[in-house]
Amino acid sequence: MIGQKKLTERLERVLGQSKADQTEIVYVGNESGLTRYANSYIHQNVFESNNRILFRSVLGKRIGVASTNSLALPDLRKTLADSIEIARQRPENPEFPGLPKPARYKDVDTFDDKTAAFTPRDRAKAVKQVITAAKRKKFTVAGSFATGSSEIAVLNSLGVRAYQPLTSASISMIAMSDDSSGYASSTARRVDDIDVASLTGVAVEKCDRSRNPREVEPGEYEVILEPAAISEMLEWLNYVGLGSKPFLQKTSFLAGKIGRKITSDKITLYDNGLDSRSNAFPFDFEGVPKRKVVFVDKGVARGVVYDRAAALKAKKKSTGHALTPDESSEGAFGLNIFMAPGKTPKAKMISAVKRGILITRFHYINGLIDPRNSVLTGMTRDGTFLIENGEIVSGIKNLRFTDSFTRAFKSTIAVSKETERIESWWSAVGCMTVPTVHLGSFKFSGKTEF
């Protein structure tokens, strides 16, 4: 960690030398440790300390972006010069709104000293708990445990000065027998918020209960979707439907449907980078304050997230969801996705199922089949169970699903009042915060032999 004062002073020295009409500097630095384990042994421990400094220079309506991972002043100056030269060579972008002006940001607690100082030995002690608990059942385990700290800064020549220090921790585990497996995971800003013992108990129990799996024919079933499964679906839906680019290109399942009911009124989806129940983060990579954005409100389509360029095109205001300058062509993107909780205790949800399937998680999801209709396909994994008359009666062999999110979630019977934080690929600046959901109809299109 460099710290706000020292980092800002160095970047401002270079920013003040820019000959461009407008200049922006985005700094992303991180120190991260990762412990991987497989076959009930730690097999890898890695540590990375790195940073990226991105310059965006503006000449009229021409924009150039260049980056470096060196904070040496000569390298920063060269990267600034490169971005200006790139801008000279680029065609004009008439939709570019210019860089933002200074703003105020909500005070969000995103840093924890213990998490930043967490050592490989500390992670190894936690992993030992996982391995020891699994060995009692003669299961093997595999997974990873990551901890780290980051700092993000956005400065521009119009006076924006945004800075935020971050920490994050995440763990995942798969317990395995010869014919079954069970999964659990969690993420948080504070490592103490991750209950390793409880998560291990979940993974081991799922592995134990799913032994000697039955074969079930594909078809339409009631399902209980646990948070990991919900988050994996939402990651794809976020990519193909909740951002400005697919919405403006009319490939999003929300396009042309604003104000219309598209799911059960039990479903509310939104993004809120200011909510500490997520891995909160108060501004985007343009230095614009984040705002809560509702995608679906009690089943009714409401809107998507915007950066400044997309907002200008749509005649809206930025919602504070810009990506880094090198990814700006992808449009705005939500990083703190929530599915609102319901009123049903999770423990009671299974008892309401006559005959159905409980799904722990998915993998190999593909959301590009028919994004206009929110069609997804993927496989169940690491804990798939048959429910009969309100009780889990056995594990079952994995199934392939192919269904429309909006169609399936019109059949929502209940949403749990408990939620979980689930890691996503952008978890340093956000995550999924989601409940368990009981659907009355979910379509499985194929089966496996395992």
Among the residues of 253-326, which ranges form H helices? 308-314
Segment 378-385 shows an average pLDDT of 98
Segment 105-114 shows an average pLDDT of 96
Q: Classify 100 as helix, strand or coil.
A: coil
CB 344 within 8 A of CB 316: no
| Alpha carbon separation from 45 to 36, 116, 175, 188, 446 (Å, rounded) | 6, 16, 20, 20, 38
Sign of the CA dihedral with 318 first, then 321, 326, and 330 last: negative
Number of independent structural domains in the chain: 2
Q: Classify 179 as helix, strand or coil.
A: coil
CB 444 within 8 A of CB 301: no
Task: Give the model's pLDDT for residue 38.
Answer: 98
- Would you give the DSSP letter of residue 99? P
85 and 166, same domain (yes or no): yes
Digit-coded pLDDT (tens) for 4-52 = 999 999 999 999 999 999 999 999 999 999 999 999 999 999 999 999 9
Q: How many other CB atoms are found less than 10 A from the CB of residue 354?
A: 9
Q: Which of 157, 176, 206 is the last residue of a domain?
A: 206
Q: Which of 206, 223, 239 is the last residue of a domain?
A: 206
152 and 275, same domain (yes or no): no
pLDDT range class, residue 286, cuts 50, 70, 90: very high
Segment 404-427 shows an average pLDDT of 94
336 and 379, same domain (yes or no): yes
Task: Give the model's pLDDT for residue 449.
Answer: 78
Compute the distance between CA of residue 233 and CA of residue 375 in angstroms, rounded to an integer: 10
| Alpha carbon separation from 7 to 151, 167, 381 (Å, rounded) | 10, 18, 44
Q: How many other CB atoms are found less than 10 A from the CB of residue 44?
A: 10
Task: Give the model's pLDDT for residue 75.
Answer: 98
Strand-pair category, 219-225 with 355-370? parallel
198 and 217, same domain (yes or no): no
Sign of the CA dihedral with 176 first, then 177, 181, and 186 last: negative
Segment 103-111 shows an average pLDDT of 96
Nearest of 244, 241, 271, 267 to residue 254 by alpha carbon = 241
**Rg (alpha carbons) of the chain, rounded to whole number:** 23
Burial of 156 (0-12, 13-18, 19+ CB in 10 A): buried
Burial of 3 (0-12, 13-18, 19+ CB in 10 A): exposed
30 and 143, same domain (yes or no): yes
The tokens describing 115, both together, are 């998490």
Q: How far apart are the first and last CA of the chain?
A: 47
Q: What is the H or E stretch that residue 204 is in? A: helix 196-209
CB 259 within 8 A of CB 206: no
Q: Which of 187, 206, 225 is the last residue of a domain?
A: 206
Task: Give the model's pLDDT for residue 151.
Answer: 97
User: Does the pLDDT of residue 425 top 80, yes or no?
Assistant: no
Digit-coded pLDDT (tens) for 112-145 = 999 999 999 999 999 999 999 999 999 999 999 9
Task: Give the model's pLDDT for residue 78.
Answer: 98
Q: Classify 448 as helix, strand or coil.
A: coil
293 and 160, same domain (yes or no): no
Digit-coded pLDDT (tens) for 239-258 = 999 999 999 999 999 999 99
pLDDT range class, residue 448, cuts 50, 70, 90: confident
Task: Give the model's pLDDT for residue 215.
Answer: 96
327 and 283, same domain (yes or no): yes
Task: Give the model's pLDDT for residue 274.
Answer: 96
Digit-coded pLDDT (tens) for 198-210 = 999 999 999 999 9
Domain, as residue range, for 261: 213-447
Nearest of 27, 59, 17, 324 to residue 155 by alpha carbon = 27
Burial of 391 (0-12, 13-18, 19+ CB in 10 A): exposed
Task: Give the model's pLDDT for residue 424.
Answer: 86
314 and 219, same domain (yes or no): yes
| Alpha carbon separation from 416 to 225, 274, 343, 422, 433 (Å, rounded) | 10, 23, 6, 16, 12
**What does pTM read for this prediction?**
0.96
Q: What angle do CA 339, 344, 348 make, to 5 degrees?
A: 125
Task: Give the model's pLDDT for residue 74.
Answer: 98
Segment 313-323 shows an average pLDDT of 96
137 and 181, same domain (yes or no): yes
348 and 403, same domain (yes or no): yes
Mean pLDDT of the chain: 97
Segment 404-423 shows an average pLDDT of 97
Segment 319-337 shows an average pLDDT of 95
Segment 299-328 shows an average pLDDT of 96
Strand partners, 269: 296, 339
Task: Give the model's pLDDT for residue 42.
Answer: 98
188 and 261, same domain (yes or no): no
Among the residues of 326-415, which ranges form H helices? 346-349, 405-409
CATH number of domain containing 15:
3.30.2290.10
Task: Give the model's pLDDT for residue 428.
Answer: 78
60 and 149, same domain (yes or no): yes
